[in-house]
Amino acid sequence: MSEPATHFGFTDIDPADKASRVGQVFSSVASRYDVMNDLMSFGSHRLWKDLALARSGVRSGDQVLDVAAGSGDMSARFSKRVGAEGRVVMTDINPDMLACGRARLLDQGVGSNVQLLLADAESLPFAPGQFHCVSIAFGLRNVTRIPAALSSMVRMLRPGGRVMILEFSTPTSALWAKAYDLFSFSVIPALGRVVTGDEGSYRYLVESIRRHPDQETLANMMSDAGLEDVSYQNIQGGIVAIHTGFRY
């Protein structure tokens, strides 16, 4: 029996094709990805990531797995937090994004406690129970099979460890949602065209946010994957949410 279609933005596609199509998007925009993040969020993404770091509960000496780490913003934060006695494993399925992340860490003078690995979120290649925290920031909506990725991340946790998900989500008011849609669909693709020369990739990224599960749905998916005490914090009226859950 064939697997049901998945989404690539607003288009339904064969699940076997999604990873390669998402890969093309990120390979296309990798070199300008961080510039676009600053422009699209007016720099707010830095605050969102600082809040996510605080919600992660990561401490000195911890072992952290940063999934779909992209250009390494969260990995750099975790690296400083865990210190020389800790370890951060930075993974991404896209080699171009991982290369950008490596370069950024070197530029910032951090990374002696960071390992980099090309890996798929749906089948993380580590022995179970190694990490105090498994993080994924702005990457879950690009995964083909979210339940599989959540289950894979849960397996990586030590008892008492937590999964932390930072992701775009659903605005909590209709008026805010309308304003957000207007900005997202009118401004972001055009900005992508000017800054990266690739309007289509940023149109996909905007559409992928609208297809991502809302806050309650994602919380339920995390519980179904085996996490307990699942909760979330809305940021900027629900444009972004931080979900956390524990393995006991």
pLDDT at 11: 94
pLDDT at 157: 98
Residues 43-48, mean pLDDT to the nearest whole number? 95
Which of residues 116 and 36 earns the better pLDDT score? 116
Where b means 16+ CB within 10 Å and e means fewer, 136-164 reads bbbbbbbbbbbeebbbbbbbbbeeebbbb
pLDDT of residue 204: 95
Q: What is the pLDDT of residue 59?
A: 98
In the CATH scheme, what is the code of domain 6-246? Answer: 3.40.50.150
pLDDT digits (tens, 9 = 90+) for 72-84: 999 999 999 999 9
pLDDT at 94 over 70: yes
| pTM, to two decimals | 0.95
Given a cut of 60, whether residue 142 has pLDDT beyond it is: yes
Q: How many percent of the chain have pLDDT more than 90?
A: 93
Q: Is the pLDDT of residue 2 over 80?
A: no
